[in-house]
Chain A
């Protein structure tokens, strides 16, 4: 379909703005814009049709089942959209005086209290904009904490298991730390023997997702806690998989000192094709003085932003954080109340049901009960029939399902990482099982069905190599190339897709 720029006609426009007769001041010539930006020139009817058409070429959780592992694609209640658009929230300026923002501050304070309770840790900062920024903030807190103890120069290492999300090692580097990888044992837990030799007085901390990206709870978590705390190190909890354990096991009780939440996963902020998200962090008492400013504090019945935190690491984002995300997540949690536990129970039940139904047809590298997600391998299909996890993923599209996360975690070859979430009906899960079983059969009998999939999407498989090689990253107007005339080699990079 056409780009919006290709529909542009000079002199056409959708906007009407108030005009007045006031004189426009002169802009010095050297600062004045010489050539207008080539923004689309389009009337409103075609503008709406264009974006409506784009929406029909996009698959969301509203469209269908979206078992993208580690992304927790659950239902996004529409009441949350209604309340976030209340003028008192939507049209509130972030520099409004505290006495003019009492409702917003109370909501943030209440959310802080709730997150502290769910984490089992006393102090919360809502500021980080996403999980990965929560991670980086956590590492900054470690740095500030150890600097305060006079150990800032010596504690340089952060331990991360090989199952971790890529954000963990990337955050370690951005935070100025060095990475110490640790292996996974045959049951899918951290290899504790490998770990023991790697943790010492040079270790700042651990970053761990629990349950892991394999969907498995680390059975040695208490021993792991003793190892790190015994060395004076801190433990960071990547909350990407918190949907498994709300009200069932709290990170603070597991021994973690710093936790981030992914509000767009666990608490249902719609992800909008890539964001927004929210990555609040909760910490133990001894880390509270270092949290970002401002914090929301309550004094009697009034709420205010507190900037007076002399040991704070500073600010990691503008203002108090992504407030609209807080409104939606707060609304989501208040819909469940203490029944948040039922949310996690249903998520785990749904995942185990899928696992039980699928493990005969696909390899299961770690044969245990899972929590909110599980990882299958298409290794046998590849060995015996030459079809890959990517082929399985593409064929699922023909059944109207979004594929799971594939090629992650990295320690499982031909990985298919499946997370149904709690909001799916059993009939949907049964339809997905039927599709997966049929695909496994077709892999043996008609592998071309998988190889050539998808068949009925707006496009067939795309040439990722051409995209990277040609580097066409914006519309180039009269110089825009016609890539359809250039040869296509549909070699797909077997890269992680999801999480």
Chain B
């Protein structure tokens, strides 16, 4: 058996579920990159994490109701974005506080919904699926929704790109130019909620910020323009997701259970490795 066969196990590329996972994961990675870059620049990683917890609420509600989890993630995320804007998360001072409160409420409700799911559906997989993702189980029926959400998130960022960039550099400079901070902030929050929903579908609600923040944080170390940072973030996210899928497929033969390790573990670990590698030039420079 050649080394190539060790890495790319036989049957990998002909498996429909792998193809589906590669496609969905690829779209998600490319959407998360630009949104993630802005999230890191704006210092709103915590808000992103709150969205992932709120999305978990939506996902568990969707599981209980038997509708598409992606729809649950996104609707709840957008509702959370509205709640956070209304409660004043845009103001720097109140941001952490409001984010923390909304996050806590989301997880609490999530706990209830997941508990109800286990009693109603007598399945125990709900919690794992919602919280830690199930990209191999993404049905091809959800592709149109994935692509539509991705396109919507990218369009929102593209439309407000320049005011968003300036307000991410300095809200004061943006205000001096007459930028409507609330509109730009709302567009960004919408894009963030959608990206988190997509990411939640791929690697799970709890882990979804890893795909959003990690590649972007590494990219900010490597690139000195917003465009190049987005390209780096996209490459890292895409590489991590695809390599994660390949490794997860390989892991079907691994101990202890011979059922495969979760994709999310591989993706998140690869993102972390990329982030650490991106720090190397700075360490050497010291």
Chain A complexes with chain B:
no
Using a CB–CB cutoff of 8 Å, the interface residues on chain B facing chain A are none
